[in-house]
Chains A and B, each alone.
Chain A
Amino acid sequence: MNDRLEQLAERLCEQRLDAADLDALNDLLLDDEARRDYIRHVHLHAALKRQVRLQAEPASRMLRPSHSWRGRSIGWLTAAALIALAVTAWFVSSSFTTPTQPHDSQSTAVALLSDTRDAVFAEGQGAMQLGADLPPGLIDLRSGAAQMMFKSTAVVDLTGPCRLKLTGTNAAELIGGTLNAYVPEAARGFEIRCRGLRLIDHGTRFVVDAAPSGPVRILVTEGLVELRTRLAGGDEQSIWLTAMQARQYDPEAGRISELSPDAMVNTNNPVVNAGFEDAAEVATHATAWKLPHDVQRRSEQVRSGSYAICWTPSEDVQSLQIRQDNRMPITPAQWGRTISTSVWVQAEQLDPDTGIVVKTAFFDGLLGEGGKLIGSATSDRMVGDATGWRQISVQQAIPAGARNMNFQILIIPSHRSGEPITTSPVYFDDARIDMLPIAATQEHFQEQ
């Protein structure tokens, strides 16, 4: 590409073109080769935008309510027709009209179930098939992830366990759990209420995390969100947050205070059924995990939630491998980013030569479908007793070419044959993979 054309194409990409530039560009584009170079340049500009947008989306996002209906999650193709029909019907009928007020009539659907990933809903939740119309009322997601699109076109991703009460075509109340929201222009004014706090969105993306007890945490990743709460004296406090600003709200004190955005960057844990809470109605099974028969869900020792998994040693088993495969896709934009893989362990009377490790392996495709191993990282061995819960973790940069990663918990046996690994049960809970902030990734690179 000649320098002048490159300069004009660059100015155009950054919207700095003036009338004289435009005339010059029109002249240059009469040349066939220059025009082809120009098309390549603009195509790169558009492709970069798409790559970054893909990375910014939560893992479970598959449906954007405006122009981009591309699917990324498992099962999309089979559900595509259903969703497209529902979405098209909605768009045609609503034509992006102004959202209606909260508390619509009970008979009217206010949202649509637009995606699920290993979602388990509470019993009595009613039909929760993909594409189902959702009337006002409680969504009780026990585990997995679910996405719903309000009639206003606002989209929320819930990560189980999460309870969300739909209150209108552009409003909901978060009872507890983590919610990611994407609010396009048409849905401005989208409102989430949570324990006395009102979040009013002005066209943006944000995350709300409301643990069963403790503060409500809010992170705005794009755009503008207004937080409102009523102070003890009756006055209303209003705070505006812009991109990468976070706050926490103490419901008991009714106070909003500062919070570092880094504290919430890792809200999206891609590990499915990370707390082993979901059993899909098989009492001892943990959905999404490959567990040997001597590993079962148990409730007598837990770090969080109601369940952990427990390995009961026997004399003839000298090693252990627990895995989650093909559940955690990687996008090219994530190559080079550092992740931290961790799990909590409680173990007693471990043989001193035995070690417990956590490991992540990266593949260039799906495991079992031709995907080849292209890198892995294993934590230091946890040896000795862990009275109480101990966390083991490892950090690793995602290698270029990776499309998929897995999660493994291993017990590496003693080299002294015949020695039992342990005689006591070993418990595991709260598996996590955290994408570290870019600054931490750069530090990690510099250390290497």
Chain B
Amino acid sequence: MDKRDRVDEFIRLFTEFEPRVHAYVLSLTPDWTEAEEILQETNAVLWAKFDEFEPGSSFFAWACQIVRFKVMEYQRSRGRRGMQLDPAVLEQIEADTVSMADELVDRQRALSSCLAKLPARDRDLIQRRYIDSATPQSVAQQLGRTTEAVYKALQRIRRALHECITRTLRTEGRA
């Protein structure tokens, strides 16, 4: 495979798997800022080491390994500050995430239609909460509600989305 083909191959795999890698980073370190930094570093390593990736093997599994290494490196460099799951749990999450890859893709696909079924007010809240740099506090301020009320509403909406996604996959015979 020449250099150009390798670049094409990398972009194809990267485009396909990046959302899942992003979710995986968050499952290990749910702080958005930290997760973004780790993801950027991981992406740089994925590209730099792409020659070592064995065609035909799982790109996602390979990326997960690099993510886990990066997360541990990141946490070591910062000391025990912030969220840190036990290494044994991290390892099991990695294995589960890889084995659940297809299901997670299905869930992501089902999310679009479930979002569309939300009442407009709930969709608005999701939009406000997940826009870059928003916090429950800033959303509460915008809407003139208490932060606790925003937390509760978000929990209710995420639960509803979970249920809708699971129902959708069941109907499609995928769950």
Contact = CB atoms under 8 A, between A and B. Distances in A.
Interface of A: 1, 6, 10, 12-17, 22, 25-26, 29-30, 32, 35-36, 38-53, 55-56, 66-71, 80-81, 84-85, 88, 91, 205, 222-223, 243, 332-333, 335-336, 400-401, 438, 441-442, 445
A400 B36 contact: no
B93 to A, nearest CB: 6
Interface stretch (B53-61, B65-73, B114-122): B114-122
A341 B9 CA distance: 41
B11 A81 contact: yes
Interface string B98-129: 00100010011001110111001101101100
Contact of B89 (A26, A42, A48): A26
B107 A44 contact: yes
Nearest to A446: B120
Contacts of A80: 8, 11
A240 to B, nearest CB: 16
Contacts, number: 163
B11 A53 contact: no
A222 B108 contact: no
B89 A30 contact: yes
Contact of A43 (B104, B115, B117, B159): B104
Contact of A26 (B4, B86, B100): B86
A6 B159 contact: yes
Contacts of B92: 29-30, 35
A36 B83 CA distance: 19
A57 B89 CA distance: 36
Given A13-B30, A15-B30, A67 B43 contact: yes
Given A52-B130, A67-B40, A45 B11 contact: no
Interface residues of B, number: 60
A270 to B, nearest CB: 19
A45 B113 contact: no
Contacts of A26: 85-86, 89
Interface of B: 4, 7-8, 10-11, 14-15, 18-19, 22-23, 26-27, 30-32, 36, 39-40, 43-44, 47, 83-86, 89, 92-93, 96-97, 100, 104, 107-108, 111-113, 115-117, 120-121, 123-124, 126-127, 130-133, 136, 151, 154-155, 158-159, 161-162, 165
Contact of B126 (A6, A13, A52, A53): A52
A39 B27 contact: yes
A29 B162 contact: no
B107 A25 contact: no
Nearest to B150: A14
A44 B155 contact: no
Nearest to A10: B155
Contact of B83 (A22, A30, A70, A333): A22
Given A70-B15, A71-B15, A400-B117, A12 B93 contact: no
A309 B13 CA distance: 45
